[in-house]
Amino acid sequence: MPKTRINLSLDQDLADFAKMFAAENRTTFADIVTQYLLSLKKRTEGESVQIILSHPAFQDAMENAQAKLRDGTAKWHSYDKVFGN
């Protein structure tokens, strides 16, 4: 399938973390996003989902974020509150 480019804007600290996480897990940021979206697509289509990335913290964080978004308990914070100055 042909690939397309999508621009994604992130806070610098989050982008740095994503790059470091990808490097530590010998993958790319694009692959992390692709695998997450494929997993999300499979779940919404009712297919079984294999855990694609082996890092358990990634899977836990994604499942926790999805649960909070679904049940409305997600709390949004400003950049400064999360990362400080």
Residue 66 pLDDT > 60, yes or no?
Answer: yes
Give the per-residue pLDDT at 24: 85
Residue 47 pLDDT > 80, yes or no?
Answer: no
- Could you tell me which residue, 79 or 9, shows the higher pLDDT? 9
pLDDT digits (tens, 9 = 90+) for 21-36: 888 888 888 888 888 8
Residue 16 pLDDT > 80, yes or no?
Answer: yes
On the CB side of 2, CA atoms within 13 Å amount to 2
Would you list the DSSP string of 30-68? HHHHHHHHHHHHHHHTT------S--HHHHHHHHHHHHH
Task: Please count the other Cβ atoms lying within 10 Å of the Cβ belonging to residue 32.
Answer: 19
Which residue shows structure tokens 């990808």?
A: 22
In the chain, where the domains are located: 12-75
Give the per-residue pLDDT at 85: 63
